[in-house]
Amino acid sequence: MAATKLRLIVAALLVIAAAAADAYTNHTVGGDAGWFFDSTTNKTSADYSAWAANATFNLGDYLIFNTNTNQTVIQTYNRTTYSSCIIDDALDSDTFQYDGGRNEFGSAMTISVALTIEGTQYYFSDANDGEQCQQGMAFEIKVEHGLGLPPSLNQPPPPAYVPPPGPANDEGQSPPAAIASTPPSSNHAIILVLASLFLCFLV
Ligand SMILES: *[C@@H]1O[C@H](CO)[C@@H](O)[C@H](O)[C@H]1NC(C)=O
Ligand SMILES: *[C@@H]1O[C@H](CO)[C@@H](O)[C@H](O)[C@H]1NC(C)=O
Ligand SMILES: *[C@@H]1O[C@H](CO)[C@@H](O)[C@H](O)[C@H]1NC(C)=O
Ligand SMILES: *[C@@H]1O[C@H](CO)[C@@H](O)[C@H](O)[C@H]1NC(C)=O
Ligand SMILES: *[C@@H]1O[C@H](CO)[C@@H](O)[C@H](O)[C@H]1NC(C)=O
């Protein structure tokens, strides 16, 4: 009896979880306030830690930074780099700069960052020698699995076709067909099928 109830509860939770994570979200950093630092008052235009704490981030979502070239957008997976507020010692393998290499002051820019790795990651602006970051141009997020990566972010380009060596290589051969891309909604179906299989094993 108890086991049957438990199975029903698990099934219901799985369905709810699949439905809740039914779409990818674009998160505008700081909401309407955007990603800005006022150098005269030393203040950020939003409380970015509070903003980040109030959202759920999933694989395949984007962070949208509405900002200008007075701020930078640094993404890092390295807590030491994040805490230091500077990227002088940062490793290329875990820290990425998204400011597009522009250095004139105050030009508007929008930076989109796709969330492609599950787990904790950090963002900050290292402008003004790290002072912006020290004053709160910094936040941390935890990326959940959600629906998983959509095909558009998931599939590396297929490797170039190399004809097999030897004289037997005539025109009967054709390159391997590219894997057809599936729409994101099919992930949903896969989750449900897997969940059903899992439940069958439990019974
Ligand atoms: C989210 O942002 C990405 C990157 O800028 C864009 O390609 C996509 O169309 C946006 N999606 C929505 C629903 O606005
Ligand atoms: C902002 O910070 C800088 C450097 O820390 C300091 O020189 C300046 O006086 C500060 N300005 C205000 C308005 O607090
Ligand atoms: C948290 O998010 C909700 C819904 O998006 C919003 O109404 C609320 O104002 C936010 N709270 C804070 C503290 O940002
Ligand atoms: C994190 O970055 C610091 C430099 O900011 C570097 O010294 C350290 O090795 C990095 N840690 C890892 C685990 O890569
Ligand atoms: C950008 O920074 C420069 C130098 O601190 C300042 O003079 C300018 O007003 C800022 N522009 C904007 C749009 O914030």
**Pocket residues: Cβ below 6 A from ligand 2:** 41-42, 131
In sequence order, what are the residues at sequence separation of 6 or more whose Cβ sits closer than 8 angstroms to the Cβ of residue 170?
none
pTM: 0.72
> Quick one: fold of 24-144?
Immunoglobulin-like (2.60.40)
Domains of the chain by residue range = 24-144
The distance between the two most distant Cα atoms of the chain, rounded to a whole number of Å, is 75
The CA 31 to ligand 3 mean position distance, Å, reads 9
Nearest CA to ligand 3 atom 6: 54
The answer to whether 54 and 108 have CB atoms below 8 angstroms apart is no
- CA angle in degrees (0–180, nearest 5) for 134-28-72: 40
Q: Whose atoms come closest to the Cα of 63: which ligand? A: 1
CA distances from 57 to 27, 35, 153 (A): 8, 18, 16
pLDDT in tens, the chain (203 residues): 555 555 654 454 444 455 454 699 999 999 999 999 999 999 999 999 999 999 999 999 999 999 999 999 999 999 999 999 999 999 999 999 987 556 677 889 999 999 999 999 999 999 999 999 999 999 999 999 999 999 988 866 566 677 777 655 444 444 444 444 444 444 444 444 445 544 444 55
